[in-house]
Amino acid sequence: MIRKMFLVTAAAAVLGSPAIAEGDAAAGEKVFNKCKACHAVGADAKNKVGPVLNGIVGSPAGQNPDFKYSDAMIAKAEEGLVWDEATLKTFLTKPKDLVDKTKMTFAGLKKDDEIENVIAYLSTFE
C-alpha cells in the first residue's frame, strides 16, 4: 500500500510539473538579446512594442491585459493557442507561419539550438 501511494505521488509530481525546455537557459539569455528591442522579462519588465514574456511558456496566447495584441493574435488566442514548446518553436522559427498577420516583424531564429535555448531561458520567468 505504501509503495502504491509513493508511485501515485511520484507520478502526480512529474505530471503536475511544467515541462522545462531542453535547451541551455544561460545560452538562451544571450539569444534573448535579439528579442530585447521589443520584449522584456524579469521582475521590473514592462511592455514594449511586444508584450512582457514572463510566464509565457505554457500559457494561453494573448493574456497580457496591458498589451494591445493584433487582431490575428487575438483570433489565435480565441482558437485556443497555447505557448507550449512546440508552438514556441514554430513561432520563433518563422512567426508568420503560425500567426499570419502578427504585428511581430522579427523574421525568426534560424538555429534549432538557439530556439531551444531561448525557450529554456523564458521558462525561468514566471
Comparing 61 with 1, the larger pLDDT belongs to 61
Q: For residue range 14-28, list pLDDT tens digits in order.
A: 333 344 558 999 999
Q: Which domains does the chain have, with CATH numbers?
A: 21-122 (1.10.760.10)
Q: How far apart are CA 55 and CA 73, in angstroms?
A: 17
Q: How far apart are CA 75 and CA 44, in angstroms?
A: 29
The helix/strand/coil state of 82 is strand
Which pLDDT does position 21 carry in this prediction?
A: 58
> Closest by alpha carbon to 89, among 110, 115, 108, 123?
115
Instruction: Give the bridge partners for 82, in sequence order.
Output: 60
pLDDT at 1 over 80: no
Q: For residue range 60-109, list pLDDT tens digits in order.
A: 999 999 999 999 999 999 999 999 999 999 999 999 999 999 999 999 99
